[in-house]
Amino acid sequence: MNATVSTALFGGFMVVTVVLGLLAVRGRGSGGGLAEWSVGGRSLGTVFIWVLMAGESYTSFSYLGAAGWGYNFGAPVLYVVAYMSCGYALGYVVGPMLWAYARRHGLVGITDIVAHRYRRPWLGAAVAVLATVCLLPYIQLQITGMGVVVSTISYGTISLNWAYFLGFAVTCGFVVVSGLRGSAWVSVLKDVLVIATLGFLVVYVPLHYFGGYGEFLHRVTAEKAQWLTFPGHGSGGLGQVWFVTTTVVNSLTVVIFPTTVAGYLGARNAEALRRNAMYLPFYNVLLFVPMLLGLAALFVVPGLTGADSNLALFKLVVDSLPAWAVGLIGVAAALSSIVPMAVFMLVIGTMWGRSVLGAVPRLATRQKLWSQVVVVAAGALALVLTYTAPNTLVRLSLISYEGMAQLVPMLLLGLVWRRLTWLAAVSGLVAGFALVCVLVFGGHDPVWGMNAGLVGLAVNLAVALAVTWLGPREADDRPDAEVLAVDDEFPEGEAEPVRASS
């Protein structure tokens, strides 16, 4: 009975999700080209940008990993709030800058930006390949996250393997057709459900299990003090230095993360992004909920270990709530996988359609079509790897964020500093990325208490500066205004440059 109710509710909402995603492009015809699909025709206002960016950053990790980290370690989980807050503040400057640059030159993503800045299409293609390697694990994380949520809230009716497939199918069901705009529409449903269900849980769980907030917090403080300060409980070196270095490097990375940039580029104007930078950080308050519930789970379901601790929050939900509520919370968590997965797949598709396949002259006229094909291919690859070799992507995911961080100098420094040569940017990237791989796969992260990504970034920057000063100078006769992001405004009423795409 329970299973029927929650599964039916879940199924109903999945249908609504696909329909909503497809409705987003109703009346817009099938034309519109790559920019219409990849960045929503650069037409989203403050509200949609807020909903979309909140939607894509609040992933299934927020439900599973944040509660799991809270349960296992305690305080170190706060890094998520810290880096997202700092990153959103930084986005006030970076967002409008990237938006105006992309708009001025008709670009649709970071690979495109790199290719234009350094005037080397192959560099855009190489960055696309690298970024794809870093992003694929995130798709798998969303697929497996959705899997455990769905099989838990359906009380086992839907098997893990079917739930994985469902995640892939629902996401493909709308994003292939409706792109970023569809993701923004689905985000509306997602954000409403996430805010409502977490708002409810944060009140209900302490009341139900502890008789109130005061009592809950009192018990945590009295009995679990080790969880409440750095380095937390049994975290293996996640101390204050780790927290500070991780926050710094992640806050720099999140502003150039391809999915974040897709959100930036979707904006109607720079002002929408500035306003968004002000409102978006409020969303981070919600992150405290799974963290606190992870701590609450320490008392209610003690002894969870390994991957099971990620279910800390859902054990409480299934244990204490009726089936319809379990179903609804499951839908919110499933959408927290689906929306980010859609945007991850979308940016991979865009990077390949524009910068890899689009760079081949014979294929360049069908960039949107190639992007859509790659969306399905990338999702299918992640799905197949989830079934056949799950550990491959899990291992890769260890370097995802820290690897992506190595693109910061090439992108951000490159857009404000003319002298940075392509050779210097590439040398830095290679050095930083290699160092991150060595440290992470060698089991040295954190290294001397510091996040390995920041160590890599420091080496990356040093190499890039050294090669710029000592290496060959570049002969590029374009004016600064063509190469650099010198102004973050875009004149009203000016048409976007038309580039080869359909």
Give the footprint of another protein on this chain (CB under 8 A).
75, 78, 81-82, 85-86, 88-90, 92-93, 213-214, 217-218, 220-221, 225, 228-230, 240, 243-244, 247-248, 251, 269-271, 274-275, 277-282, 284-285, 288, 478-482, 486-487, 489, 491-492
Query: Do 294 and 67 meet the contact criterion of CB atoms below 8 Å apart?
Result: yes
Nearer to another protein by Cβ, of 47 and 89: the residue is: 89
Nearer to another protein by Cβ, of 408 and 429: the residue is: 408
> Read out DSSP for 154-166?
TTTSS-HHHHHHH
CB-based burial, 336-353: b 16+ in 10 Å, e otherwise: bbbbbbbbbbbbbbbbbb
The nearest distance, CB 214 to another protein, in angstroms, is 5
The nearest distance, CB 132 to another protein, in angstroms, is 31
Q: How far apart are the first and last CA of the chain?
A: 51
The nearest distance, CB 465 to another protein, in angstroms, is 21
Distance CA 267, CA 452 (A): 33
Query: Do 149 and 314 meet the contact criterion of CB atoms below 8 Å apart?
Result: yes
The nearest distance, CB 422 to another protein, in angstroms, is 21
Token code pair at residue 390? 């799950």
Angle at the Cα of 16 from the Cα atoms of 11 and 20, rounded to 5 degrees = 155
The nearest distance, CB 321 to another protein, in angstroms, is 24
Nearer to another protein by Cβ, of 91 and 167: the residue is: 91
The nearest distance, CB 11 to another protein, in angstroms, is 36
Query: Do 336 and 60 meet the contact criterion of CB atoms below 8 Å apart?
Result: yes
Token code pair at residue 500? 């080869």
Distance CA 289, CA 202 (A): 6
Nearer to another protein by Cβ, of 53 and 463: the residue is: 53
The nearest distance, CB 490 to another protein, in angstroms, is 9
Nearer to another protein by Cβ, of 192 and 225: the residue is: 225
The nearest distance, CB 94 to another protein, in angstroms, is 10
Distance CA 451, CA 390 (A): 25
Burial tier of 326 (Cβ tally within 10 Å: 0-12, 13-18, 19+): buried
Angle at the Cα of 177 from the Cα atoms of 171 and 183, rounded to 5 degrees = 50
Nearer to another protein by Cβ, of 89 and 373: the residue is: 89
Query: Do 495 and 103 meet the contact criterion of CB atoms below 8 Å apart?
Result: no
The nearest distance, CB 338 to another protein, in angstroms, is 26
Place of tokens 């170190």: 76
Query: Do 181 and 25 meet the contact criterion of CB atoms below 8 Å apart?
Result: yes
Write a three-state SS string for 393-433: HHHHHHHHHHHHHHHHHHHHHHHHCCCCCHHHHHHHHHHHH
Nearer to another protein by Cβ, of 216 and 257: the residue is: 216
Nearer to another protein by Cβ, of 89 and 423: the residue is: 89
Nearer to another protein by Cβ, of 47 and 217: the residue is: 217
The nearest distance, CB 76 to another protein, in angstroms, is 11
Query: Do 62 and 265 meet the contact criterion of CB atoms below 8 Å apart?
Result: no
Nearer to another protein by Cβ, of 262 and 292: the residue is: 292
Burial tier of 282 (Cβ tally within 10 Å: 0-12, 13-18, 19+): exposed
Mapped onto helix, strand or coil, the DSSP state of residue 44 is strand
Nearer to another protein by Cβ, of 37 and 69: the residue is: 69
